[in-house]
Amino acid sequence: MHKDVKQILYTEEELRRRVKELGSQITADYYGRRPMLISVLRGSYIFMADLTRAINLDLTVDFMVVSSYGAGTVSSGQVEIKKDLSDSIEGRDLIIVEDILDSGNTLYYLLEVLRARKPASIRLCTLMDKPERRTKPITADYAGFTIPDAFIVGYGLDFNERYRNLPYVGVLKESVYEK
């Protein structure tokens, strides 16, 4: 275990199993359709790679870079699109793929932007859901794990851009972000 991690919340094996389940659920729900999975970078890059390979459909992928946190642990409420989608979403069935749904600020804003481009449908898939932190009326259609309000890293999730490559999800030691 990494020295800055206090506790492992989900092991590689637990993540793998849950992502497979989400993939099967999406495969069943979208049977006969061709959804477009939109990965909200950077946090979702590992989840996106594993989730898309767990879905047995003729899907397409696209990517957006959105930033809301800056260098800290609390959402600023300011969301900026740093890289937009490459393709048109008009008439498409969108599945937005996020690593974590926290205050809901990012998705609240993003949904507004995407709805204006007239997709056929939009659903949200988040690996981690922290409902107790929510300040915007956003719920996930697919959620991997509902987690308590702790600062977690790994499997794509960062603190100041570090720890994304940990293969598990762990709770960061307070001493790391209280410095």
Toward ligand PRP, which CB reaches closer, 71 or 116?
Answer: 71
Toward ligand PRP, which CB reaches closer, 57 or 155?
Answer: 155
Based on the shown chain and the rule CB under 6 A, indicate whether residue 155 belongs to the binding site for ligand PRP.
Answer: no
Of 23-31, 40-48, 114-122, 171-179, the window that binds ligand PRP (rule: CB under 6 A) is: 40-48
∠ Cα 84 89 94 (to 5°): 100
Neighbouring residues of 133: CB distance < 8 A, sequence distance ≥ 6: 102, 103, 149
61 φ/ψ sector (left φ>0, alpha ψ -120 to 50, else beta): beta
Based on the shown chain and the rule CB under 6 A, indicate whether residue 129 belongs to the binding site for ligand PRP.
Answer: no
Of 1-9, 11-19, 29-37, 94-102, the window that binds ligand PRP (rule: CB under 6 A) is: 94-102
User: What residues are labeled active site?
Assistant: 102
- Contact residues toward ligand PRP (CB under 6 A) are 40, 42-43, 66-69, 75, 98-106, 158
